[in-house]
Amino acid sequence: MNKYSDNTSRAYPIRLFLLLLAILFALHSKPIDAAEIPLAGRNVIYIHLESFQNFMIGQTLNGIPITPNLNAFTQQGLWFSHCYPQTAGGNTSDAEFMVHTSLLPASKGAVFNQFTSGSYHSIGNILKKKGYNTAVFHGNTANVWNRPVMYPALGLDRFDSAAQYAPGLKIGLGLADRPFYTETAHQLLTLKEPFFADVLSLSGHSPFTIPISEDSFNPAPYTGTVFGDYLRAIHYADGALGLFIAELRHSGLLEKSLAVIYGDHGGLPLSEYERLEHFLNNSQSGQTKASSNTIKPALWRARTQVPLLFLAHGAIMPASVGAPVGQVDIAHTVAAMMGAEMPGSVGTNLMHGVPPFVAFRGGSIIKEDLWITNVTDSGAEVYNLANGDLVFSGKEGRLLFSGTIKRAIKMLEASDKVLEQHR
């Protein structure tokens, strides 16, 4: 049998199972019923990392780590090292929508502009039923992405945008991450506990213009390029994140909370493909020559992975999971961690295992180390995500993965059905 077909058995994520046991044992000296909830009653803090791709994590440039803080945090929590952004026409807002509802984005445009009526079975609404207060913090003008209209449907009661923050350094679209996080850390202390807070950073967003006075990270040999500027923006965003987590730790909030750190989508434009590959080749193998400039779509897809990390001091043991997961799995998992169901979700509870595949709005799918794309009724292209090579195509590709393709279409349809109830 072909190693890649739909009939292969999915490796059971045994580490996750062991982790769950570790969590249960860490909290109770004797075994407890798995229905008991390890994190119930904790505050939940989402930290949304703008345009933050995974490929820089653990990497250095000129001997300096690009993401020293995130590098350390990945060792302190439950780290999903292959999380794919599933955003579509709504960019940031699609990521927000998924991490609140475990539903997929709309087939056209942003959910936030079209499906705003009623009340979603969102993490905010679910936690409110448990007595939580809910709030969102973002250093941009309020009306971007129709947030003031959509947030009530997601059960998010308070929304502090740029107007509520003291004027401070502006980077790119809005308030720079450092002053933003500093003031947000203070505001969190004013919330009545337990709370659900959604903290949306901004400085990772293009045009990646970080003043040298704010961060002296030297991106040579990429100085003056979009790629170099992006590394600087991420270095700055990581530094600001480090200070925020330190403040939460210092104030005592961190140890009473579950922090969920995730990236929303990629930040680099495709025009930076060659520099990205050059950077990865140099850093990983010590080669100095530029890589081929032939764009391999599957490699680009793999490079757009975003961070996903669950931090809960004393309740979640450090572990890492390398199987592919998606943003659509986040809300469902958080609900389960807090002892709640998420009705209508098309995500997976990552505490029980990884999803069988990650589906994207455009119809492509990631299954293990493969990307199934350009799917038609009679054909499909299947690429190896590790080297970008085409491994199956045409009828063969379609037939080998017909079961997965069918299930992915069903998942998209199920999600669309819920959206329609909110038009």
Measured from the CB atom, is 42 or 205 closer to ligand GP9?
Answer: 205
Measured from the CB atom, is 92 or 364 closer to ligand GP9?
Answer: 92
For the CB of residue 203, give the shortest distance to ligand GP9 in the complex, in Å.
11
Site residues (CB under 6 A) for ligand GP9, limited to 231-290? none
Token reading at 269: 């434009």
Instruction: Work out whether 100 is an interface residue with ligand GP9 (CB under 6 A).
Output: no
Site residues (CB under 5 A) for Mn ion, limited to 253-272? 264
381 contact, one of Mn ion, ligand GP9, none, CB 5-8 Å limit per kind: none
Site residues (CB under 6 A) for ligand GP9, limited to 126-155? 140, 144
Binding residues for ligand GP9, how many (CB under 6 A)?
6
Strand stretches in 63-157, DSSP E = 64-65, 78-80, 83-84, 133-138
Q: Distance between terminal CA atoms of the chain?
A: 46
Residue with tokens 């270095």: 235
For the CB of residue 110, give the shortest distance to Mn ion in the complex, in Å.
12
Question: Can you tell me which of 53, 54, 86, 91 binds ligand GP9, judged by CB under 6 A?
Answer: 91
Question: Can you tell me which of 92, 201, 257, 291 binds Mn ion, judged by CB under 5 A?
Answer: 92
Cα–Cα distance, 411 to 359 (Å, whole number):
8
Site string for Mn ion, 45-84 (x = CB under 5 A): -----x----------------------------------
Stretch in the footprint of Mn ion (CB under 5 A) among 85-93, 238-246, 250-258, 315-323: 85-93
Those residues with Cβ within 8 angstroms of residue 47's Cβ, 6 or more apart along the chain or in another chain: 199, 201, 241, 244, 259, 260, 261, 262
Question: Can you tell me which of 205, 235, 361, 367 binds ligand GP9, judged by CB under 6 A?
Answer: 205
Measured from the CB atom, is 20 or 173 closer to ligand GP9?
Answer: 173
Residue with tokens 């505490």: 351
Measured from the CB atom, is 173 or 226 closer to ligand GP9?
Answer: 173
Instruction: Work out whether 93 is an interface residue with Mn ion (CB under 5 A).
Output: no
The answer to whether the CB of 188 falls within 8 A of the CB of 45 is: yes
160 contact, one of Mn ion, ligand GP9, none, CB 5-8 Å limit per kind: none
3-state helix, strand, coil split of the chain in percent (to 5) is 40, 15, 45
Say which DSSP state 98 is in.
Answer: H
The answer to whether the CB of 120 falls within 8 A of the CB of 108 is: no
Measured from the CB atom, is 199 or 253 closer to ligand GP9?
Answer: 199
Token reading at 219: 């991106």
Say which DSSP state 291 is in.
Answer: P
Binding residues for Mn ion, how many (CB under 5 A)?
3
Residue of 124, 48, 45, 138 lying closest to 85 (CA atoms): 48
Residue of 198, 200, 194, 231 lying closest to 216 (CA atoms): 231
Question: Is 316 exposed, middle or buried, given 0-12, 13-18 or 19+ CB atoms closer than 10 A?
Answer: buried
The answer to whether the CB of 367 falls within 8 A of the CB of 356 is: yes
Site residues (CB under 6 A) for ligand GP9, limited to 155-194? 173
Q: Is 258 helix (H, G, I), strand (E, B) or coil?
A: strand
For the CB of residue 183, give the shortest distance to Mn ion in the complex, in Å.
21
For the CB of residue 206, give the shortest distance to Mn ion in the complex, in Å.
9
List residues binding Mn ion (CB under 5 A).
Answer: 50, 92, 264
List residues binding ligand GP9 (CB under 6 A).
Answer: 91-92, 140, 144, 173, 205
